[in-house]
Amino acid sequence: MLENFELSKKTVKLKEELDKITDCYTKVQKEKLLLEIEYQKELDRWENTTNHLKKIINDLDSEKKHLEAELEKLKKVSEKCNHNDCSVVELKYNLERVSENHKLEQKAAKEQMEKILEELGQMQHEKEEILSEKLIYEEEIKKCKGQIKSLENELKSLKDSLENNKEDIFLWCSERTNRRNLIRNKQKRIYTPQSKLHLKDMVIRKPCNT
């Protein structure tokens, strides 16, 4: 009976430990899901920024081609107007203005590209940190799963032990009950009319061995 009680206490304790580890596992799973969602958001943001950068580059290329076409037109016009100094000076001024504007736009685009690349580097660093944390949580989950499996095996072993000892426990309880009944029967007062005494109060002599 005492062994059964100890086994029951140990089973309850193991069940509590199993519940704690299960709660820990659930919490880790939730944190892992939140990290995956955050990682996906950062990845989507990075892709949107990249697409935006590509669009800016395409727009700059289109503008560059347009300016080059205008420059070619101005060159042709300049060649045709060499006889007119005023026209040549005006065309040269326009050409320099267009070239200067193009340089300013290129400089602004370059600065913007550098800024975007810096942000991309920062995002890559954050992505690596998130992946590192994800690996750590996955290791914790593996450990929790191992502990849960070990506790389940121990719980199963205890259940099997209880099942195997059920017959022994039953016999032990039966013997204890029989002993109690025997003692109770000995303590009963049996009345004898001849002596008006109880057998309990009489001196009972053991028979001699013959």
* pLDDT tens-place string over residues 66-123: 888 888 888 887 676 666 666 657 767 777 887 787 788 888 888 888 888 888 788 8
Answer yes or no: pTM beyond 0.75. Answer: no
Domain borders along the chain are 2-186
Contact criterion met (CB below 8 Å) for 11 and 158: yes
Q: CA–CA separation, 208 vs 198, rounded Å? A: 23
Domain 2-186 has CATH 1.10.238: no
Q: Which stretches does DSSP call E strand in the chain? A: 191-192, 197-198
Q: Which of 68, 60, 78 is nearest to 99 (CA)?
A: 68
Question: Using alpha carbons only, how large is the chain's radius of gyration in Å?
Answer: 48
Give the count of alpha carbons within 13 A of 187, CB side only. Answer: 6
Beta-carbon contacts of 82 under 8 Å, excluding residues fewer than 6 positions away, are 88
140-187 pLDDT per residue, tens:
888 878 888 888 888 888 787 777 777 777 777 777 788 777 777 765
In the chain, what's the furthest Cα-to-Cα distance?
Answer: 167
Beta-carbon contacts of 77 under 8 Å, excluding residues fewer than 6 positions away, are 91
CB burial of residue 18 (10 Å; 0-12, 13-18, 19+): middle
| Res 209 pLDDT > 70 | no
5-30 pLDDT per residue, tens:
677 777 888 888 888 888 888 888 89
